[in-house]
Amino acid sequence: MYVKCWDRNGGFKTYRDTVELDGSNIKIDKADVDQALKETTLDVNSILLLADRFVTKHQNKPYYFNKEQMQRATKKIINYIMLIETDAMDLHKTKQLAFVMNILTERNLHEKVWEGVKDDKIVHDMMASMVKATSNLIMANRKTPVYANDTSLSGIKNTIPLDLNGFTWLAKTVDYIIE
């Protein structure tokens, strides 16, 4: 973990420390996911904590699946991504969210998460939101963050908002959506 500090002139220092994580006790079940869905904090880490329950295979087990919870989580995550203004994007946010979109769209479409929903409009709106959220992440790449001394980018004027992995994940997302 780190803390990066800087002054008005952009002079900065970074301090690092480590924590030990024991992943052998991770338990993803309905109660755990319900609790994660209740979280109201909307920052990248909180969204990733929710998304990771669905987009990562933990302890070599298959992806966690619960249709109703996956629908709720997808809505929440997609809404979050749509809210982000493209000029608030940076490489770190875009990359993390591109990965989430990649796995989430794949699972939503291949595991037929929305099959059986009676109201076609709900499904249609969800697809539209997926497209919009993906576009939001892609559009971030058209922005060059401006110089600002109120973010940690202050020492790095031209941060590229998407790297090769991020591009690949977004390209896969587009593939799943148009499939």
Partner 1 sequence: MGYAKKNYFSRSFTGIVDFTISPKKGTPFETEFTLTASKSRVASPIMCEFGYFHPRGKIVLPSEDTIDNLKQTSSKVKKGSFNKRTLTRKVKLLPASDLEAT
1 lies in the site for partner 1, by CB under 8 A: yes
Q: Which of 73, 77, 84, 133 binds partner 1 (CB under 8 A)?
A: 84
Q: Which of 122, 148, 160, 171 binds partner 1 (CB under 8 A)?
A: 148
CA 13 vs CA 114, 152, 173, 177: distances in Å: 48, 11, 37, 42
Binds partner 1 by CB under 8 A, chosen from 71, 151, 167, 177: 151
Write each residue from 50 to 79 as x if it is in contact with partner 1 (CB under 8 A), else as -, in one continuous string.
--xx-xxxx---------------------
Q: Residue 62: which of 28, 100, 22 has the closest Cα?
A: 28
Phi, psi angles (nearest 5°) of residue 22: -105, 105
Q: Going by DSSP bridges, is the β-strand pair 2-6/12-16 parallel, antiparallel, or unpaired? A: antiparallel
Contacts to partner 1 from residues 105-124, by CB under 8 A: none
d(CA 4, CA 147): 17
Which residues, in sequence order, are CB contacts of 46 under 8 Å at separation 6+? 39
Applying CB under 8 A, which of residues 61, 62, 85, 179 lies at the interface with partner 1? 85
Q: Can residue 34 be called a binding residue for partner 1 (CB under 8 A)?
A: no
Are 43 and 50 within 8 A, CB to CB?
no
User: From CA 169, how far away is CA 96, in angstroms rounded?
Assistant: 10
**Closer to partner 1 at the Cβ: 15 or 120?**
15
40 contributes a contact to partner 1 by CB under 8 A: no
Binding interface with partner 1 (CB under 8 A): 1-13, 15, 17, 19-23, 25-26, 32, 36, 42-45, 48-49, 52-53, 55-58, 80, 83-85, 87-88, 90-93, 95-96, 99, 102-103, 145-146, 148, 150-152, 155-156, 165, 168-169
